């Protein structure tokens, strides 16, 4: 019978849904194996050999302390040592972690919950965009120093309406960014392989091969693509030089999508107007990184996604995929690109 590895919290929270799927399964009944909560308890070799599937849920992937991180390590270690595992579902989108790459290399089907955090992330991006455009970092600094410092009127920012944002990646996150950007009056250029449609909320679509052609028009550059061999340093020194003076970067993709050292140079020189950065080439961002001290940069610690509804949305995606897996149907959220 198929054995599914879950955290205790997920097994208890969705016991009725799991029972319904078990009863409706045409093959052998599903058996749920709960990951031990106790720090000193590990699954034995017999249990590991029985595991065929697992759900790396959001209760194991947050930032709530050492206990949660230990649970995450225990779960992934168990999946890694399970010789017969065939499918792993992730409660998040990213699959660039080496362990997921290793599992895919072993032939394990890996599916994800791409899209469940898309709107909160997009709201963080738009929040960063508005904060940079309206000068919030300057106001925050003045507030800390109890200084009443109004912006000289000859330094007023240009109108946001009519500016151009280039959104690299029109998946769930990029789609929300495009929609919200249009609502603010921005001209939206979307970049992805597949041609955009009217429902994508872009004013112009270009293929990734044409990215450098549109960078000179980008007042704002939003990066939302996954990290792959093709997107590593997609925004390199040459690409940064193509951006117009005063342009801003909004990165919620992965830190390595951009040449971080070259970006720092451009921000230090003020040729680039600023950046909202949620991701970095090294995480956590080292205390000695110059990014911390750049006055035109807003930093969030890979934390743009939290929203109370995320876990429920991720679990719903998992349960849908579990039903397909039990029925022998193709997974709809299967990760194809390594």
Average pLDDT estimate for 163-187: 98
DSSP E strand boundaries for 116-158: none
Catalytic pick from 133, 201, 302, 333?
302
Identify the bridge partners of residue 221 per DSSP, sorted by sequence position.
Answer: 166, 249
Question: Phi/psi class of residue 240: alpha, beta or left (left: φ > 0; alpha: ψ in -120 to 50)?
Answer: alpha
Q: What is the pLDDT of residues 94-122, one digit of tens each?
A: 898 899 999 999 999 999 999 999 999 99
Grade residue 61 by pLDDT with cuts at 50, 70 and 90: confident
**pLDDT at residue 241 in the model:** 99
Predicted local distance difference test score (pLDDT) of residue 275: 99
pLDDT (0 to 100) of residue 336: 84
Confidence of residue 198 (pLDDT cuts 50, 70, 90): confident
Whether 310 has a pLDDT exceeding 70, the answer reads: yes
Residue 69: is its pLDDT beyond 80?
Answer: no
SS3 138: helix
Provide the whole-model pTM.
0.91
pLDDT at 36 over 80: yes
For residues 311 and 54, what is the distance between their CA atoms, to the nearest angstrom?
16
Output the pLDDT for position 38.
82
d(CA 10, CA 18): 10
**Annotated catalytic, 254?**
yes
- Asked if 220 and 248 count as a contact pair (C-beta separation under 8 A), the reply is yes
Per-residue pLDDT, 28: 82
- Distant-in-sequence contacts of 133-138, Cβ < 8 A, 24+ apart: 133/157, 133/160, 133/248, 137/274, 137/295, 137/296, 137/297, 137/298, 138/295
User: Mean pLDDT throughout 240-259?
Assistant: 99
- pLDDT of 68 strictly over 80: no
Say which residues have a Cβ less than 8 Å from residue 319's Cβ, sequence separation at least 6.
14, 17, 21
Calpha distance 188→6 (Å, rounded):
42
The catalytically annotated residue of 133, 176, 254, 333 is 254
Mean pLDDT taken over the chain: 95
Domains and CATH numbers, the chain: 3-116+308-327 (3.40.50.720), 118-299 (3.40.50.720)
Distance from C-alpha of 195 to C-alpha of 236, rounded to nearest angstrom: 24
Phi-psi region of 21 (alpha: psi -120 to 50; beta: other; left: phi over 0): alpha
Residues ≥6 apart with Cβ < 8 Å to 122: 173, 176, 177, 180
**Rounded distance between C-alpha atoms, residue 161 and residue 165, angstroms:** 11
Residue 331, classed as helix, strand or coil, is coil
The tens digit of pLDDT for each residue in 211-241 reads: 999 999 999 999 999 999 999 999 999 999 9
233 a catalytic residue? no
């Amino acid at each position: 019978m198929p054995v599914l590895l879950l955290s205790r919290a997920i097994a208890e929270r969705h016991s009725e849904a799991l029972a319904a799927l078990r009863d409706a399964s045409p093959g052998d009944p599903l058996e749920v194996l709960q990951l031990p909560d106790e720090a000193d308890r590990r699954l034995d070799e017999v249990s590991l050999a029985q595991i065929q599937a697992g759900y790396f849920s959001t209760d194991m992937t947050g930032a709530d302390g050492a206990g949660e991180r230990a649970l995450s390590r225990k779960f992934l270690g168990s999946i890694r040592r399970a010789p017969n595992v065939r499918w792993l579902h992730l409660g998040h989108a990213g699959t660039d972690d080496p362990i997921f790459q290793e599992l895919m290399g072993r032939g394990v089907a890996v599916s994800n919950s791409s899209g469940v955090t898309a709107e909160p992330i997009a709201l963080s991006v738009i929040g960063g965009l508005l904060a940079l455009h309206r000068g919030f970092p300057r106001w925050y600094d003045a507030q800390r120093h109890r200084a009443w410092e109004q912006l000289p009127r000859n330094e007023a920012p240009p109108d946001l309406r009519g500016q151009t944002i280039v959104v690299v990646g029109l998946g769930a996150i990029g789609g929300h960014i495009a929609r919200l950007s249009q609502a603010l009056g921005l001209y939206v250029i979307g970049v992805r392989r597949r041609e955009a449609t009217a429902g994508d909320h872009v004013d112009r679509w270009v293929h990734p091969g044409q990215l450098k052609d549109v960078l000179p028009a980008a007042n704002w550059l939003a990066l939302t693509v996954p990290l792959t061999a093709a997107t590593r340093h997609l925004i390199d020194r040459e690409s940064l030089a193509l951006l117009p003076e005063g342009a801003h970067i909004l990165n919620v993709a992965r830190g390595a999508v951009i040449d971080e050292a070259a970006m720092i140079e451009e921000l230090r020189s003020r040729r680039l107007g600023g950046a909202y950065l949620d991701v970095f080439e090294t995480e956590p961002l080292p205390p000695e990184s110059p990014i911390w001290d750049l006055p035109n940069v807003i930093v969030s610690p890979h934390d743009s996604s939290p929203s109370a509804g995320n876990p429920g949305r991720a679990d719903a995606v998992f349960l849908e995929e579990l039903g397909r897996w039990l029925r022998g149907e193709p997974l709809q959220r299967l990760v194809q690109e390594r």
